[in-house]
Amino acid sequence: MRSWYKNIDGVHAFYANGLLRSLFMSMTSIYVPLFIYSVGMGIWGSWQAALWLVAAYYILQRLVVVIIVFPLSKLIEQIGFRRSISLSVFFLIAYTVSLLLVKQDTSWLWVSAVCGGLQIPMYWISRDSALSQDIEGKTMGRRIAYIAVLENIASLLGPFVGGTIVALSGYSTLFGVTLAILALSIIPLWWMPGHTHKNGVSLAGFGYFLRTKRYLHQAVANVGIAVNDYGNGVIWPLILFFQGIRDEKIGIIYSVVAVLAVAIQYITGPWFDKLRARKDYADEGIFGLATAGIAIIWVARFFVKGIAQVLPVDMGRQLFSSVHANFFSDYLHLGGKRMDSIAYWVYIEIMYSLGAIGIFGIMAMGVYWGIWKELVLVSIALWSLATLLIAKESNL
C-alpha cells in the first residue's frame, strides 16, 4: 500500500509550512513595532524618538535585503529552494532570540533587524520561485488561494493569542512561545521535490526589468504593495496604539477581521481562474474595484476612533484586501512563470524593499513635521492605487 507521505507534493509542503509560519507571524508581527516603540520610550521618553526608532528598524531591515539579495541569489541557486527556506527559519529564530535579548542590551535590536532582513530573501525568493514552477498557470488562482486560506486560518487566533500573552506575561514570553512554532515549520519542507534553479541575476538584467514594458508594471506595483503591506502590518497598529487601543484589543481586531479573509480567499482563487479564462477584462475589472476600495479605506481610517468604529472599517478593508491580495499574488506568480528565473523574484524583492524604505522615510519626515499620521495614510492610499498596474499581467 502506498504510504500517505508519498502523495505529498511541493505545494502541499508549502501548505503545511505556510500554516505554521503564518501562525508565528500572526502572533508576533503586529506586536514587534509596538515592542520597538516601547523600547524607544524607555530609552528617550519621547514619542517622536520612539517612532523614529521604529522607522529606522524597518529601513535597516529592508536595506539589508537590497544589499544582500544579489549575492544571496547565487547561494539559493547552489543550495536549492528547500535548504534555502530551511535556512531562512534559522535566521528567523535568530531574529526572535535577538528580540528576546533587547531588554538586556538594546544593541540586539539592530541584530534582529539584520537577521530579519537576511531571512526575507532566503524565504520569499525560494518560496515564490518554487510555487511558480509547481503550479500550472490555469490553476494558479485556486492553488494560491488554498495557501492563502491556510495562512489566514492561522491568523484567526494568532493576533488575539499574541496580544493576550503580551498583556499577561510580556513580550519575552511571546517571543519564547513562537520559537517552538518556528522550529516545527521546518519539518514539512523535506517533502519538497527538487527544482531547477535558473538564476540570471545581474545589474543589467535589473535595468532591463525596470525599462521594459514587459515587466515595468510588476516593478511599480510591488512598490505599491509593499507600502500597503507595511501600512497594515506596522503603521496601522501604531496608529491604533496612539488611539489608546492596547495589545490584546488590537489582537482582537486583527483576529476578527481574519475570519472574513478566510471565507473570501477560499472563493476568490477559483473565481480568478474562471475570470481569466474568459480572455477579456473581467478579472482586471474586479481587481480595479478592490484596489479603489482599499485606497478609500485608507483615507477613511484617518477619521475612525475606538474599536466600535475601527472594527467595521477594518472589516471593509479585509473585504477588499482579500480579493486584491489573491488576484495580486496570482498576477505576480504568472509573471514569475513567464520569466522562469530566480532573477524575477530578486528584482521583485528589491522593488518591494524600496517601497518599504520609502514609506518609513515618509513616516520619519512626518514625525519631524508633526503630521505623521496624515502623511502616511495619504501616501499609502495613493500607492495602493499603483498596485492596479499589475493587472496588465493577465493578458501577457
Q: Of 296, 291, 299, nearest to 373 (Cα)?
A: 299
Residue scoring higher pLDDT (108 or 187):
108
For residue 39, pLDDT beyond 90 = yes
Section 199-212 average pLDDT: 90
**Domain layout of the chain by residue ranges:** 10-190+201-395
For residue 146, pLDDT beyond 70 = no
Assigned C-alpha cell, 184: 516545527
What does R_g of the chain's alpha carbons equal in angstroms? 20
pLDDT of residue 155: 66
For residue 1, pLDDT beyond 60 = no
CA distance 74 to 94: 22
For residue 166, pLDDT beyond 70 = yes
The residue type found at 384 is: S
Section 293-314 average pLDDT: 93
pLDDT of residue 350: 97
Q: Which residue is associated with the grid cell 483615507?
A: 299
Of the chain, the percentage scoring pLDDT greater than 70 comes to: 82
pLDDT of residue 8: 46
Average predicted confidence (pLDDT) for the chain:
85
* Cβ atoms of 119 and 88 closer than 8 Å: yes
- In the structure, what pLDDT confidence band is assigned to residue 37 with cuts at 50, 70 and 90? very high
DSSP 327-357: HHHHHHHHHHHHH-SHHHHHHHHHHHHHHHH
pTM of the model: 0.89
For residue 6, pLDDT beyond 50 = no
Q: Does domain 10-190+201-395 have CATH number 3.40.50.300?
A: no
Residues in the chain: 396
